[in-house]
Amino acid sequence: MSANSLALDHYITLGRSGLRVSPLCLGTMTFGLEWGFGCPEDVSASMITRFLEKGGNFIDAANIYTKGHNETILGDYFTTGPGRGKRDRVVIATKFGGNMWPGDPNGGGSSRKSMFGAVEHSLRRMKTDYIDLLWCHFQDVHTPIEETMQSLDMLVKQGKVRYIGFSDHPAWVCVQAQYEALFRGWTPLIALQIEYSLIQRTVEYDLMPMAQKLGLGVTPWSPLRGGVLSGKFTRENRPKDDGTTRVRSDSKYLTESTYVLIDAIKEIAAAHGVTPAQVALRWVMDRDGVRSTIIGARSMQQLDDNLAACALRLKAEDTKRLDTLTTPPHIFPHEFLTHFIPGTIQGGTQINGRATPAWPLAPQSDAERW
């Protein structure tokens, strides 16, 4: 199901849960200047206010973004700032896993010690008693998955966390984690956060279908590939390494195929009277399984432009054109199973609306069958 809302306040339930979230989620990786890009506290607060006024209710943070400053900005906003008294009206998500304590082997990862410590620090910075959605930020190969899932369940039972999700994990790990939880009676995952854009579509082979089968609502990050798909970079106007953009002049994404894609995005945008960024963002919002797409802005202008994507309607031919230009390379076993096996299984019949030719190597008569 795609996010077909005409407005930011047309809410969507996240995954197999009753949690209602807006079709766009406000990312906070740009809140604070500690990473060399982003925006100061006053601009961050203004963007939160604009997002909430437009009907948005879903905000995504992380313990490590801007060295923790992003969470502090949220905490100040909802306690002593413009959002005072509104904390319970929003869905605040944050992540653990990144190490904030160099030299401490237990400072990061998905162990119980690291997780509990990170959550306590996030609660302190955000000046709140609970986290609506806690993401395990990335796979920790050193921690058994059952320890991570049991620890997340303990946080939910303690009331410090309401819902849980995985970010940037392989599909097989997500499946293992979900079934550990289901078989043991622990809190299940409701959401999956992954990179997804017209430039990053490999997630369509395993992560996206896995999420749909397991009831995980997908919240894509970097739908504009850090600004590459905004349309501001062309063959003649490449980015400058002067701190004004996160995109580097030697970016591996600025290839001829990307410029061909950007040309198409610009043509579609012109036909609709919108910006290229809105076209690229809307394409992600419309993908099956996507529930709330994470946007990141450094200015009010960027935020307003992103929010306007809610009202855009891409034509079927627009989507088909973009799909054709960005079809990801085939990987095993998906090409094999899609192109060679259906006829072998179906025996020339039609199943669920899909017809296949008969397999030529099958016995053609009783006399040929051993």
Among the listed residues 65, 77, 130, 205, the single catalytic one is: 65
Distances (CA, A) of 119 to 99, 142, 189, 233, 344: 12, 19, 17, 39, 51
Q: What is the CA radius of gyration of the chain?
A: 22
| E strand map for the chain | 12-13, 20-21, 24-27, 58-60, 91-96, 131-136, 161-167, 191-193, 217-218, 293-295, 350-351, 354-355
- For tokens 């919108």, the residue is 274
Going by the DSSP 8-state scheme, the letter that residue 353 receives in this structure is T
Give the position of tokens 């622990």: 186
Q: Which two tokens stand for residue 175?
A: 């499946």
Tallying the residues shown for the chain, one arrives at 370
- Which 3 state secondary structure label does DSSP give 269? helix
11 included as an active-site residue: no
Amino acid identity at 205: Y
- Tokens matching residue 172: 């097989």
Query: Which residues form the catalytic set?
Result: 65
